[in-house]
Chains A and B, each alone.
Chain A
Amino acid sequence: MQHFLYVLRENPITVIAFSLFALIVFAALFGPLLAPYDPLASNPARALQPPSWDHWFGTDQLGRDVFSRVLVATRLDLTIAVAAVTISFAIGSVVGTLAGYYGGLLDQAVGRVTDTIMAFPLFVLAMGIVAAMGNTVENIVYATAIINLPFYIRVARAEVSVRRHAGFVEAARLAGNSDARLLAMHLFPNILPPMMVQVSLNMGWAILNAAGLSFIGLGVRPPTPEWGIMVAEGATFIISGEWWLALFPGAALMLAVFAFNLLGDGLRDLIDPRRRT
């Protein structure tokens, strides 16, 4: 805890990142309770109203409150991103660690598979996966997890392979650790800092990816409140001057990506023991 406060004092940007992150998590947890209006209730009488005291972010073409919809959408977007990143982190760190440690045929096979995934334009690959597997939220999660996987495998592999002959690894073996224990208890904790940075950067990217898929009509379907759909629907109204429809969900999206990108550096400072003095 003391160390946490120290890291925050050291770097003011980390304070901003953690506050934004806290805000996003808070919105995701309590958004549905806090929303002033039902995000799905349409009210044709109040359609396309500009932002006002009654409707902070205005209303959309069906008279739904944009603020409520942006707030409620946080949970869905964050859930998709967290689930996808958790899957890629779990699989990526295990596969990458094994490939980096044992090398040889396993390493070559894993390398070729990641190269193959990377050879596709990743967003197009995600589109293809969702289109082929069916238009559901789970499939968005899987697609996002698959396209993020190579990054985790590569980071884990590289970090493990530079350390596998380090003195402390040999020392752990001399202390009677089995390979599995050595990997889990000695090597893996040491590759956590770069992995956490990857997680944070990826989280923003995963949110953007989920929103992007919804934007082009894959995955989450209207009328579910979701930032990507809201931007897509609002985009048609920008020409006629109703800018608030697309701007506010877009800003929420940008803020979330921004927060996660900044968070990466702060997390590394927190986890890296070398920063602990």
Chain B
Amino acid sequence: MAPLLEVEHLTKIYSLGGGTKAGRWLKQRLTNTVPHQPRLHAVDDVSFTIEPGESLGLVGESGCGKSTLVTMLVRLSDPTAGVIRFEGRDISAIPAKRFGRTADRGRIQVVFQDPHESLNPRHTAFDVIAEPLRRLQAMNGKALEAKVRETAERVGLPDTLLGRFPHQLSGGQKARVNIARAIAPEPRLLVLDEPTSALDVSVQAVILKLLDRLRRELGMSYLFVSHDLNVVRLLCDRVMVMYLGRVAELGPAHDVFTEPGHPYTRALISAIPGAAPPGGPVRLEGDPKSPIDPDPNACRFHGRCPIGKELCAGTAPPWVPLGPAHGTACHFARR
């Protein structure tokens, strides 16, 4: 079967500083030098696929490019380079500004991190769920109402709460409204951006169960962004580990957790309370290198890596296959 989503060499680079274009031009003229413009590599040459009905976990620390990758995938921002193919169609060719008018808009949806902030304070739960249906599928009247009620029921939101404003709902109820809003236009790919991190622990489990059930019922694919590795392990078929804008490791969830190939993945697994990673615990110190103008000929993890050698400082690691569908970017990956 053809993959639902194919991402090839996706890159997002932000040009930093230097003020306005006119200011840079003036400086260049006055000093007769080409000013160096620092470039922030937020996402650097990322490739992966998501199969229909599959759940892919995306993990990595804050600032590793997860959010940038997500906003590009869901077509809220434009990539600097690379291709995103959805059901075989190149959707990265359509500018983000115009993507809202295409038929694919409803087929890729997102559940955002903060359930409260993601709801318009002036809209009732009904309005929130109805909005994508009105805009994307031109529904109205009885059909719209029936569809909203059906969607609310699917996510376990009582009918009586539909008339309420966000501030009158609990955290769990707000999370359900957000999920209902995202699944209302019947997406094929649902991106979950840390959907439970802002919720109470007791509610988290309930929402995660709901998400797992919805995926099976509706046959959606998930891209599950999280830094809770236990959750990823439970809900995801495959896991992608990102470090400083690059893919560090990608493979089936079970393999990645039991036989991590990349030292960073091992460090992440070591950080799970009560975990006993193969090969002993790995502790990281310090902060990641700067994503601004990274050395293209060095491993991004070098300097923080427990096994880093001279080779890592001078040569970027190749992609090392570790098994079927499992690979890592490390010179010293255990095969």
Contacts and interface: CB of A to CB of B under 8 A. Distances in A.
Interface of A: 105, 166-168, 170-179, 186, 189-190, 273-274, 276-277
B110 A170 contact: yes
Contacts of B334: none
Given A167-B117, A168-B120, A175 B112 contact: no
B151 interface: no
A167 B112 contact: yes
Decide if the interface of chain A is mainly helix, strand, loop or mixed. helix
A175 B131 contact: yes
B55 interface: no
5 contacts: A168-B119, A174-B76, A174-B132, A175-B131, A277-B168
B136 A189 contact: no
A105 to B, nearest CB: 7
Nearest to B21: A105
Q: Which 10 A-B pairs have the closest CB atoms?
A: A167-B118, A175-B132, A167-B112, A176-B135, A168-B120, A167-B117, A176-B100, A176-B136, A175-B131, A175-B135
A171 B122 contact: no
B170 to A, nearest CB: 15
A172 B181 CA distance: 10
Contact of B181 (A171, A177, A186, A277): A171
Contacts, number: 72
A177 B135 contact: yes
B150 interface: no
Contacts of B178: 171
Contacts of A172: 120, 131
B289 interface: no
Contacts of B181: 171, 175
Nearest to B115: A167
A178 B100 contact: yes
Interface in B60-103: 74, 76, 97, 100-101
B167 A273 contact: yes
A174 B109 contact: yes
Given A171-B128, A190-B121, 9 more contacts: A167-B118, A170-B110, A170-B118, A171-B110, A174-B76, A175-B135, A176-B105, A176-B132, A189-B122
B129 to A, nearest CB: 10
Given A174-B76, A176-B105, A176-B132, A168 B118 contact: yes
A105 B181 CA distance: 35
